[in-house]
């Protein structure tokens, strides 16, 4: 089977199922595992790489308002690869290619490939999609084994979290964009809950939405997580340090107690793939340091302290 993945989380899943040789094409954002870099890129973003978060937000809104796609599909490359299966997504037309982006390219095929479109709304759907990919690629047993391993890790964590009193579960604000501010949705609030926290904004199965700096200050989170979609921790910290924030932020418990963290968003939070379980465990360790988590989470570097210097710089 020849597979083209237009979705980073699907690429991660395919490699986890042992389909590295079958994957012949990927998107420009498919960067994990490292071997994915060796695959032919068949899709590119129309957003300039050097664009700031504010510019990205503006361009996205402009493209969406005009009904234009954020992506360009290399129809010739796709035709040359002759895939049997293409995996894309319906959830977020900002984050990755949608089925509509494929329409023109697929008209060139005498025999159209199968198209699997994923649409996860919560963390259970993420695990379900692993099974769907397994079924479509004749790797059902491998997918079941992967989901079982994830379930075992999650079950071990849940047993510990259940013993934590509600009064000891910190209030968490999860920021998935900074200019303007957006809070995490879909599976993110569920991840916070599974980790033993309370999301002050997001609700499971609900898209991310915009909030103001004043609303964040009024919510008084005890933990502030900066996890910009598409960014790593260093990039998140740099963007946060450039912000001009109101004086009210100095009263936020998370800021006062130096409990502001940056996340490896792409790896462990934004992408609905197998590594979300590591993100849940890493978050649980931040919220409740006494909890036991897997070695993968302990060594992941998924969440790191922002540090007072970066926080103060953002307030200047």
The predicted-structure confidence for 181-235, as pLDDT tens digits, reads as follows: 999 999 999 999 999 999 999 999 999 999 999 999 999 999 999 999 888 899 8
Hey, what domains does the chain have and what are their CATH numbers? 3-119 (3.40.50.1980), 146-315 (3.40.50.1980)
Q: What is the pLDDT of residue 316?
A: 45
The predicted-structure confidence for 252-299, as pLDDT tens digits, reads as follows: 999 999 999 999 999 999 999 999 999 999 999 999 999 999 999 999
Looking at the chain, the whole-number percentage of residues with pLDDT higher than 90 is 74
CA pair distance 240, 51, nearest whole angstrom? 15
Whose CA is closest to 40, among 70, 74, 7, 17? 74
E-strand stretches of the chain: 3-5, 23-27, 40-45, 71-73, 85-89, 114-118, 171-178, 181-183, 198-199, 209-210, 223-226, 260-263, 303-305
Q: What is the pLDDT of residue 308?
A: 42
Most confident of 40-54, 67-81, 100-114, 141-155: 141-155
Give the mean pLDDT of the chain: 90
The first and second tokens of residue 111, run together, are 């025999």
CA 178 and chain centroid, separation: 15
Question: In which band, very low, low, confident or very high, does the pLDDT at 313 lie, cut at 50, 70 and 90?
Answer: very low
Q: What is the pLDDT of residue 309?
A: 37
CA quadruple 217, 220, 224, 229: dihedral positive or negative?
A: negative
């Amino acid at each position: 089977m020849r597979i083209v993945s237009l979705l980073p989380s699907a690429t991660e899943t395919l490699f986890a199922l042992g389909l590295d040789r079958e994957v012949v094409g990927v998107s420009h954002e498919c960067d994990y595992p490292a071997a994915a870099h060796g695959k032919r890129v068949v899709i590119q973003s129309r957003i300039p790489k050097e664009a700031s978060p504010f510019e990205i937000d503006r361009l996205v809104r402009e493209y969406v308002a005009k009904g234009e796609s954020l992506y360009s599909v290399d129809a010739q490359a796709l035709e040359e690869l002759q895939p049997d299966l293409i995996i894309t997504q319906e959830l977020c037309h900002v984050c990755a290619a949608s089925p509509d982006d494929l329409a023109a390219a697929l008209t060139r095929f005498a025999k159209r490939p199968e198209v699997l479109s994923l649409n996860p709304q919560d963390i259970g759907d993420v695990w379900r999609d692993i099974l769907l990919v397994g079924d479509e690629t004749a790797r059902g047993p491998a997918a079941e084994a992967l989901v079982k391993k994830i379930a075992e890790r999650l079950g071990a964590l849940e047993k510990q979290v259940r013993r934590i009193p509600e009064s000891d579960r910190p209030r968490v604000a999860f920021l998935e964009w900074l200019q303007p501010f957006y809070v995490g949705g879909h599976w993110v609030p569920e991840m916070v809950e599974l980790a033993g926290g309370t999301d002050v904004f997001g609700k499971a199965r609900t898209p991310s939405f915009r909030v103001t700096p004043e609303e964040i200050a009024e919510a008084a989170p005890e933990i502030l997580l900066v996890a910009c979609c598409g960014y790593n921790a260093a990039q998140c910290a740099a963007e946060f340090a450039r912000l001009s924030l109101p004086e009210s932020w100095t009263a936020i418990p998370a800021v006062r107690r130096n409990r502001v963290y940056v996340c490896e968003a792409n790896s462990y939070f934004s992408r609905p793939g197998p590594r979300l379980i590591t993100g849940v465990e890493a978050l649980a360790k931040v919220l409740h340091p006494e909890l036991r988590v897997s070695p993968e989470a302990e060594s992941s570097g998924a969440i790191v302290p922002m540090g007072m210097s970066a926080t103060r710089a953002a307030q200047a």
